[in-house]
Amino acid sequence: MMRASRSSRLLALVVTWALVWASVCTAYASDIVIEEAALNEHNGILVLDADSHFDFSADAIEALNSGIPLYFDLEVRLLRARRYLWDVDIFTTRRRYAIERHALSNQFVLTELITGERRLHRTLELAIEDLSRIRRLPLVEAATLELPPDLAAAIRIELDINALPAPMIPLAYVSPGWHMSSGWYQWPVVR
């Protein structure tokens, strides 16, 4: 009799903990949503335009305000879309962005790490808005690729948790507020 009482209390404790954890996860969840993307040719170069929405968790905002930079990876794939088999990659590339607070000027800096281009913003909201709009990002010369008629493009943006300071990484892996990813956004390219 005592054993049944003990196991029912344990079950009640586990269920309560799961409900509390689920509410905490929902409260601190963050996300990236790609709203629209287009691939165009400009002077023989394929360029990307994309609009997204970033929903930073309270932990991520606190880290930025404390001077900890956040790194985001933008992955771009050009592929031949197939109906019944997996898609075939024609071209892939990755761009990396950093957003951080400049300690002396108290401004937020968005840096495209391949080109080194830096843009300053008065507020974090303006820096996040800038990060969410990609305009005329050059990818590859169109003439160097054999582009099929059923060409598709896909992009994904995600926070690089491994770029956080070492003491923060274990907590970031178990906290949903640090798991920021758009998932793959794919669309057919009309040429």
Q: Is residue 2 a part of any domain in this protein?
A: no
Whose tokens are 């335009």? That residue is 49
Print the domain residue range for 141: 30-188
- Looking at residue 85, what is its pLDDT? 78
Q: Is residue 37 a part of any domain in this protein?
A: yes
* 155-188: pLDDT as tens digits: 999 999 999 999 999 999 999 999 999 999 999 9
| Stretches in the chain below the pLDDT threshold 50 | 13-29
- Looking at residue 191, what is its pLDDT? 67
- Looking at residue 6, what is its pLDDT? 66
- Looking at residue 83, what is its pLDDT? 74
Q: Is residue 10 a part of any domain in this protein?
A: no
Q: Is residue 13 a part of any domain in this protein?
A: no
Checking DSSP bridges between strand 45-55 and strand 70-80, what pairing results, if any? Answer: unpaired
Q: Is residue 16 a part of any domain in this protein?
A: no
- Looking at residue 12, what is its pLDDT? 53
Angstrom CA distances, 166 to 107, 138, 145, 179, stand at 25, 33, 40, 16
Q: Is residue 7 a part of any domain in this protein?
A: no
Total structural domains within the chain: 1
